[in-house]
Amino acid sequence: MKIGILSGAIPSTTFIEALLRVLAKNGHEVLAFGTKQGAISSTETGVRYFCFARGRVSITLVACGYWLLFLTLRRKQAGAIFKRVTSERRDLRYFLMRSSRILPLLWFSPDVVHVQWAKSLPDWIVLHDFGVKLAVSLRGAHINYSPITEVWLAKAYKKCFHLVDGFHAVSEAIATEAEKYGADRSKTRVIYSYVRDEVIELGRFRIQRQYDWEGRAMRIISVGRYHWKKGYNYALDAMKILHDRGHDFRYSIVASGDNEEYLHQIYDLGITGKVMLQSGVSHKEALQEIYQSDVLLLPSVEEGVANVVLEAMALGTLVVTTASGGMEEIIQNGDNGILTNIRDPESLASALISVMRLSPSERKCIATRAYQSILERHTEVKFARSVGDFYKFVTV
């Protein structure tokens, strides 16, 4: 099957890069379209990358090149495309920009085009007019709060969603939320992320060790970008509670972005010696940090299903997470992790203290059950089967 992936950026997020890798590995012809943001990994063999033109000259050259191809070899289709694009806006600059993006997808004629970010769907719904099968991913912010804060987006979803052939939801919670904007639940398939085999193999050795932290500080880590929805301010308030109650811990936040707000908060709370902020850490290095930590803390206000939680579970690191978004679908409180309330530092602190008070054997039991959860639901084999079935469903 020929599958076009509209990823937004190239390279893209962990989930999208994993999707590309699995599709190519399983024999699909994969075409990834997006705006180049960094180096493209040479290991992604089998994936053909098409970076959208940027800059007036490049856009003009690409647009003219594809128009020449269409006028020469697909004249009838060229007329229909011209009529459709010019009906959107009669502006030469806009016409060239739209042409440089739409024409490459129509030229390569994928069996299905998968729009990875729902917010961009209005830009690509035009493909439906030319018989392209459209799949759309439903993820966190694009469904949970963007259509609430941006009224135009809610209207756009209601206008476009009924034209979509299939929806991929990262969680049941997201699938339910998307129904408010017209996403047909019968066309929606929930597909969770997977954890790479080498990470799972590393975790197999970890859970064979003892979980005895007696005599040293508990090592806590959070991983993700600096953004209000990640809830780091609540996590830091929780660390203040732990500090004031005399508990020994070290907390690391591995994140990208502006950390000035959190540096001020750490100083004001008087926990400078207990908390460390790290940036510029690669994904591989972050996994190593998680592996060496005792607890992965996810204090998020809103999430789909956090990949970092799945990776921590696979690595044998205990998870404490807020019951945000789809996390309740992954973590069963007290069984394979600990769930806490959203926006509640006291709840976060209490959960961490409860982990401290567990016996080494109890901690090991929770970590082992978390690891088994990954084996049962989040392996590459299961993911590949799910996405393959999804694309078959979309193209029927």
* 94-114 residue pLDDT tens: 999 999 999 999 999 999 999
In the predicted model, what is the mean pLDDT of residues 59-87? 94
User: What is the rounded distance in angstroms from the CA atom of residue 368 to the CA atom of residue 233?
Assistant: 30
Task: Choose between 26 and 337: higher pLDDT.
Answer: 337
With vertex at residue 201, the alpha carbon angle to CA 23 and CA 300, rounded to the nearest 5 degrees, is 75
In the predicted model, what is the mean pLDDT of residues 130-142? 92
Report pLDDT for 43. Answer: 53
Structure-token pair, residue 360: 């080494």
Domain chopping of the chain, boundaries? 2-51+111-194+380-395, 197-376
For residue 153, the surrounding DSSP H or E stretch is helix 151-160
Structure-token pair, residue 45: 């063999």
User: What is the rounded distance in angstroms from the CA atom of residue 62 to the CA atom of residue 49?
Assistant: 15
Helices (H), 280-359: 283-291, 307-315, 327-330, 345-357
Contact indicator for 212, 36 with CB cutoff of 8 Å: no
Collapsing DSSP to helix, strand or coil, 254 comes out as strand
Q: Which of 8-22, 132-146, 250-264 has the lowest mean pLDDT?
A: 8-22
**Is there a shared CATH topology between the 2-51+111-194+380-395 domain and the 197-376 domain?**
yes
Report pLDDT for 45. Answer: 64
In the predicted model, what is the mean pLDDT of residues 235-262? 95
Report pLDDT for 303. Answer: 85
User: What is the rounded distance in angstroms from the CA atom of residue 64 to the CA atom of residue 107?
Assistant: 13
What's the pLDDT band for 44 if we cut at 50, 70, 90? low
What's the pLDDT band for 350 if we cut at 50, 70, 90? very high
What CATH topology corresponds to 2-51+111-194+380-395? Rossmann fold (3.40.50)
Q: Which of 42-51, 118-127, 145-154, 253-262 has the lowest mean pLDDT?
A: 42-51
Task: Choose between 390 and 46: higher pLDDT.
Answer: 390
Indicate if the pLDDT at residue 257 is higher than 90.
no
Report pLDDT for 101. Answer: 94
> What average pLDDT is seen over the chain?
93
- CATH superfamily, region 197-376: Glycogen Phosphorylase B; (3.40.50.2000)
